[in-house]
């Protein structure tokens, strides 16, 4: 197969049958990534999907592209390493709400601050799916799970408010059944120069009987329906999130001015580091040695 | 004339003790002397006793000296803590400022010199260390003009006057001390050195330089004693080759980011100490399971927990060999000198790529932070071997079948493609997987993949260059001393002394600690009457590893030290005699 210059979403399909429960929200996220990748003009070789551990984390195995299914909570540092190594790759990191907002929360915050050019897609089902239904930082107060039989008593985390205050340059939220919108947002995330975080409400039909498809349909507001909503206005973004209890979809905030991490790194090579000749050369080595004399 | 000199400067941390030692040793290095420095310091920035002990010789020296010739004291604590190391001909020179008191039970000479006062008169008390350097020169009969170059280098940026003032401080210290000593040659005068230019560096510099020579482009790390100098050096140098250092949010991020970068096709690594390594264990397992190259430097310090963060210890050995759950092929290399630190780090990157395994470069505080004279490093010995890395020319497959990244091969190593390569798409997962990387729980596949992974490093002890350093001249030794990392220097000196008393001693230093080079060491153990494993830990970890691999549980004894300080030759001499 010669390098294809264009691809369709079908090229991003592989032969693996997902082991998700029928009806799981993650199926649509997978489809949206495949469509967005084709729409922005990628070929499978140029895409690396790095995922964490959880039902959602399996996603990298279901897309025909390079992919790495790592360890719980660490998709982001792995993905940042991949992007630093090869700036020509499009890197998508993804995983669940537990993966990114519990065990991996430290990395999420610092990836937002660092602003390396990659797209982070969270499949937020407000529960731990893979371990069979424990509470997540995204679970609503009072939500009864295996680990909170009397109802969750901890404050629900707002990843979107956190992202806006932490300095993320692209903050968006979507709903997995909304394939068209979700695809468009992922495309925008990939095209954004810098770190983009996209939180996707992706219902777990097996363990979350509260935040169901119907529940989201009833409670979500599309930002496109709010007149004059301006995603470059950080203050308005925060106000809107608070007013709607975070239940909005669309691009919440985008800063197109701030350069990505790689643009700011002193001396960072113009060409992918993965292509570099590793030999330091005798002359350079000699100079380095001289400095210790 | 003395063969060599042992000099120590001490005072309160943050008082310029470090720069005193630094200037003194830099000048001597340029004259061609061999140096070996060890800093005693505390985990705080200001205050607390600190000292820098520097050994100077016309021959290579590789351990902290047993005794002391000159003690330069900037406070009474320095005298009280250290004077017992001085031999009868030794000299204490102390700042008059703190009204020094000479201990009653010492025969060493004692001179109070107005370091601070003279410096203050010259403009600033900061120059008191220069006065002390000058006074030292008077004792060892060293022409102070050799300091000019060093002073210019350090203070040149601050202008000509500052350079002049500092030189003046050195000269005045020299003159004052000369007057005190009176006429006659000093018994502490050093014979002239060979004038050869040699590198003078800490082990961490050598490791960092090794990483650079190996072609590293990204270091991901989180600061910690005694590893930080590795990242500090590379922060300065990596931009020159298009790379960078990322200071991550923690060591889990550091290790996983390095894994991502290696997966992405570059050479990347991290360095830390015990606490950081504990956090990295799950990531190291990911590297092993996904066969993604990873190099991690562990500069051992006193454990457990925060332990003795600024003190010497070698207690991470077992954790480095066995750390991470489940079973992976892993390589642990333990350089014993700065030179080995350089070459072994280069080799670590080659092994990581050739065998597609995590490689731990094990160091210890004494090696990492001790500043030594280093023999010329030979760039022609640096080779970059990337193993079965495939970058192009993959046979096209019409169906969308995945590339066999984990193909079962005879040597266990499979072809490795990195993202971006046409025709190389495959999956990578820490879940057990088949030859294309897709998850598989089939027992037959599990066994095939596990065997394949473990097979990779079986032959390593046979191909690793000098897995055991040997200084073994006796066919039947009375005693075989075995160590690893920085203890080698003290062992060699202890050996010389034991030999001079007619005891036949062999020395073996394990450089490849995992997989263990059993065949290499076994004949030495078999032919020795007694075996003693010298290590800076409380439980004899290396001794356990040796017994496990080579047997002889009765014969193998331990010489242990875990008080935070390095072995000095006399410790080993004394313990050895007790054993034989
Ligand atoms: C270090 C570690 N701790 C715990 C686990 C067990 N574990 C696997 S997935 C998971 C949580 C999954 O929840 P989430 O990230 O929300 O993903 P989901 O399954 O809901 O998609 C946990 C706790 C693990 N794999 N690794
Ligand atoms: S348990 Fe929930 S999250 Fe997991 S696959 Fe089933 S529906 Fe999806
Ligand atoms: Mg979840």
How far are the Cα atoms of A164, B216, B433 from residue A128, in angstroms, in the given order?
25, 38, 24
**Which parts of B96-177 are beta strand (E)?**
109-113
Which has the closest alpha carbon to B291: B177, B437, B390, B447? B437
Residue B276 has pLDDT above 90, yes or no: yes
- Give the containing element (helix H, strand E) for B134: helix B128-140
| % chain A with pLDDT above 90 | 98
Residue B154 has pLDDT above 90, yes or no: no
Residue B400 pLDDT:
85
Query: Ligand 2 pocket check: which of A18, A20, A99 to mutate, most ligand atoms within 8 Å of Cβ?
Result: A20
B226: CB partners within 8 A, 6+ apart:
B204, B273, B299, B301, B310, B365, B368, B369
Residue B19 pLDDT:
85
Residue B261 has pLDDT above 90, yes or no: yes
Token pair listed for B97: 């400022």
B377: CB partners within 8 A, 6+ apart:
A289, B199, B206, B209, B339, B342, B343
Token pair listed for B297: 């430097």
Residues of B in contact with A68 (CB under 8 A): 260, 263, 290, 428-429
Report the chain A residue with the minimal C-alpha distance to residue B391.
A275
Question: Backbone dihedral region of B123: left (phi > 0), alpha (psi from -120 to 50 degrees) or beta?
Answer: left
Residue B224: CB atoms within 10 Å = 19
Residue B315 pLDDT:
98
| B468 bridge partner residues | B510
Report the chain A residue with the minimal C-alpha distance to residue B437.
A61
How far are the Cα atoms of B340, B343, B351, B377 from residue B465, in angstroms, in the given order?
11, 10, 12, 16
Q: Determine whether the interchain pair B400/A64 forms a contact, defined as Cβ–Cβ distance below 8 Å.
A: yes
Residues B525, B528, B531, CA angle at the centre, nearest 5°? 65
| Confidence tier at B410 by pLDDT (50, 70, 90) | very high
Cβ-contact B89, B106 below 8 angstroms? no
Q: In B, residues 436-455, which contact A (CB 8 Å cutoff)?
A: 438-439
ipTM: 0.98
B418 burial type by CB count under 10 A (0-12 exposed, 13-18 middle, 19+ buried): buried
Work out the mean pLDDT of chain B and round it to a whole number. Answer: 95
**Which parts of B203-317 are beta strand (E)?**
216-221, 244-247, 267-272, 294-300
Residue A260 pLDDT:
97
Work out the mean pLDDT of chain A and round it to a whole number. Answer: 96
pLDDT per residue over A204-233, tens digit each? 999 999 999 999 999 999 999 999 999 999
| Confidence tier at A110 by pLDDT (50, 70, 90) | very high
Average pLDDT over every residue of A170-199: 98
Q: How far apart are CA B330 and CA B320, in angstroms?
A: 9
Q: Is B425 helix (H, G, I), strand (E, B) or coil?
A: coil
Q: How far apart are CA A95 and CA A86, in angstroms?
A: 22
pLDDT per residue over B478-508, tens digit each? 999 999 999 999 999 999 999 999 999 999 9
Residue A2 has pLDDT above 70, yes or no: no
Residue A1 pLDDT:
40
Q: In B, residues 340-379, which contact A (CB 8 Å cutoff)?
A: 374, 376-377, 379
How far are the Cα atoms of B97, B281, B319, B328, B425 from residue B324, in angstroms, in the given order?
54, 5, 8, 8, 28
Tell me, in angstroms, the distance from the centre of ligand 3 to residue A20's CA: 13
Residue B423 has pLDDT above 50, yes or no: yes
Cβ-contact B405, A28 below 8 angstroms? no
Residue B409 has pLDDT above 90, yes or no: yes
The percent of chain A in helix, strand and coil, each rounded to the nearest 5, is: 40, 15, 45
Residue A62 has pLDDT above 90, yes or no: yes
Residue B147 has pLDDT above 90, yes or no: no
pLDDT per residue over B319-365, tens digit each? 999 999 999 999 999 999 999 999 999 999 999 999 999 999 999 99
Average pLDDT over every residue of A163-191: 97
| Confidence tier at B120 by pLDDT (50, 70, 90) | very high
Q: To probe the interface with A, which of B270, B427, B434 has the most A CB atoms within 10 Å?
A: B427
The answer to whether the bond into B568 is cis (omega within 30° of 0) is no
Inter-residue long-range contacts of A274-283, CB under 8 Å, 24+ positions, other chains counted: A274/A85, A274/A86, A274/B264, A274/B265, A274/B266, A274/B418, A274/B420, A276/B215, A276/B217, A276/B241, A276/B242, A276/B266, A278/B214, A278/B215, A278/B267, A278/B384, A279/B215, A279/B384, A280/B212, A280/B213, A280/B215, A280/B241, A280/B382, A282/B379
Average pLDDT over every residue of A99-109: 98
How far are the Cα atoms of B7, B188, B374 from residue B191, in angstroms, in the given order?
15, 9, 20
Residue A4 pLDDT:
53
């Amino acid at each position: 197969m010669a390098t294809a210059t264009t691809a369709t979403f079908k090229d991003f399909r592989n032969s693996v049958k997902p082991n998700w429960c029928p009806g799981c929200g993650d199926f649509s996220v997978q489809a949206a990534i495949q469509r967005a990748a084709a729409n922005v003009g990628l070929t499978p070789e140029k895409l690396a999907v790095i995922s964490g551990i959880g039902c959602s984390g399996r996603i990298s195995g279901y897309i025909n592209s390079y992919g790495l299914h790592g360890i719980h909570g660490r998709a982001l540092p792995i993905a940042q390493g991949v992007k630093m190594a090869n700036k020509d790759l499009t890197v998508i990191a993804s995983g669940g709400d537990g993966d990114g907002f519990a065990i991996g929360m430290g990395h999420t915050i610092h990836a937002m601050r660092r602003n390396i050019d990659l797209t982070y897609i969270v499949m937020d089902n407000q529960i731990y799916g893979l371990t069979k239904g424990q509470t997540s930082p995204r679970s609503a107060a009072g939500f009864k799970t295996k680990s909170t039989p009397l109802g969750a008593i901890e404050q629900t985390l707002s990843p979107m408010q956190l992202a806006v205050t932490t300095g993320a340059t692209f903050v968006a939220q979507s709903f997995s059944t909304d394939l068209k919108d979700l695809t468009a947002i992922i495309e925008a995330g990939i095209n954004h120069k810098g770190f983009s975080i996209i939180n996707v409400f992706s219902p777990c039909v097996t363990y979350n009987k509260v935040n169901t498809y119907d529940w989201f349909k009833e409670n979500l507001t599309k930002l496109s329906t709010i007149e004059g909503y301006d995603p470059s206005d950080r203050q308005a973004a925060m106000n809107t999130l608070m007013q709607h209890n975070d239940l909005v979809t669309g691009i919440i905030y985008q800063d197109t001015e701030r350069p990505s991490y790689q643009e700011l790194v002193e001396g960072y090579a113009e060409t992918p580091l993965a292509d570099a000749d590793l030999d330091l050369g005798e002359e350079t080595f000699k100079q380095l040695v001289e400095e210790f004399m | 004339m003395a063969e060599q000199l042992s000099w120590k400067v001490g005072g309160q941390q943050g008082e310029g003790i470090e720069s005193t030692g630094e200037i003194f040793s830099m000048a001597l290095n340029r004259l061609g002397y061999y140096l070996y420095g060890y800093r005693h310091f505390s985990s705080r920035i200001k205050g607390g006793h600190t000292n820098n002990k520097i050994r100077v010789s016309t021959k290579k020296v590789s351990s902290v000296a047993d005794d002391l010739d000159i003690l330069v004291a900037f406070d009474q604590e320095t005298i009280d803590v250290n004077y017992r190391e001085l031999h009868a001909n030794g000299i204490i020179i102390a700042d008059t400022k703190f009204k020094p008191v000479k201990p009653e039970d010492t025969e060493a000479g004692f001179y109070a010199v107005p370091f601070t006062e003279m410096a203050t008169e010259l403009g600033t008390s900061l120059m008191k260390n220069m006065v002390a350097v000058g006074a030292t020169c008077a004792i060892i009969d060293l022409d102070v003009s050799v300091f000019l170059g060093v002073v210019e280098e350090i203070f040149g940026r601050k202008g000509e006057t500052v350079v002049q003032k500092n030189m003046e401080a050195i000269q005045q210290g020299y003159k004052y001390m000369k007057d005190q000593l009176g006429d006659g040659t000093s018994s502490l005068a050093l014979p002239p050195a060979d004038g050869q230019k040699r590198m003078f560096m800490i082990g961490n510099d050598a490791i960092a330089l090794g990483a650079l020579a190996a072609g590293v482009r990204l270091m991901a790390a989180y600061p910690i004693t005694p590893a930080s100098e590795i990242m500090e050096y590379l922060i300065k140098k990596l931009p020159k080759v298009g790379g960078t250092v990322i200071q991550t949010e923690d060591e889990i991020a550091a290790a996983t980011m390095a894994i991502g970068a290696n997966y992405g096709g570059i050479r990347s690594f991290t360095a830390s100490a015990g606490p950081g390594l504990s956090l990295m264990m799950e990531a190291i397992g990911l590297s092993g399971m996904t066969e993604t190259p990873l190099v991690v430097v562990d500069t051992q310090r006193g454990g457990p927990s925060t332990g003795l963060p600024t003190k010497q210890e070698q207690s991470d050995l077992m954790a480095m060999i066995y750390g991470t759950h489940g079973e992976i092929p892993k390589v642990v290399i333990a350089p014993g000198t700065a030179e080995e630190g350089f070459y072994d780090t280069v080799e670590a990157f080659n092994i990581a790529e050739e065998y597609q395994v995590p490689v731990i470069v094990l160091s210890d505080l004494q090696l990492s932070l001790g500043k030594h004279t280093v023999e010329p490093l030979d760039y022609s010995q640096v080779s970059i071997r990337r193993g079965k890395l495939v970058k192009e020319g993959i046979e096209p497959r019409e169906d969308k079948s995945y590339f066999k990244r984990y193909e079962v091969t005879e040597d266990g190593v499979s072809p490795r493609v990195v993202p971006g390569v046409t025709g190389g798409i495959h999956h990578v997962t820490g879940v057990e997987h088949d030859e294309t990387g897709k998850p598989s729980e089939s027992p037959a596949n599990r066994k095939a993949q596990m065997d394949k992974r473990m097979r990779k490093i079986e032959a390593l002890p046979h191909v690793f260059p000098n897995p055991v350093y040997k200084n073994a001249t006796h066919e039947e030794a009375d005693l075989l001393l075995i160590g690893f990392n920085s203890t080698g220097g003290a062992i060699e000196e202890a050996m010389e002394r034991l030999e001079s008393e007619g005891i036949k001693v062999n020395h073996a230093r394990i450089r490849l600690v995992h997989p263990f080079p059993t065949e290499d060491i076994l004949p030495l153990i078999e032919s020795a009457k007694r075996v003693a494993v010298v290590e800076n830990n409380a439980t004899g970890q290396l001794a356990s590893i040796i017994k496990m691999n080579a047997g002889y549980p009765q014969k193998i004894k331990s010489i242990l030290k875990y008080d935070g300080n390095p072995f000095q030759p006399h410790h080993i001499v004394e313990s050895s005699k007790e054993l034989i």
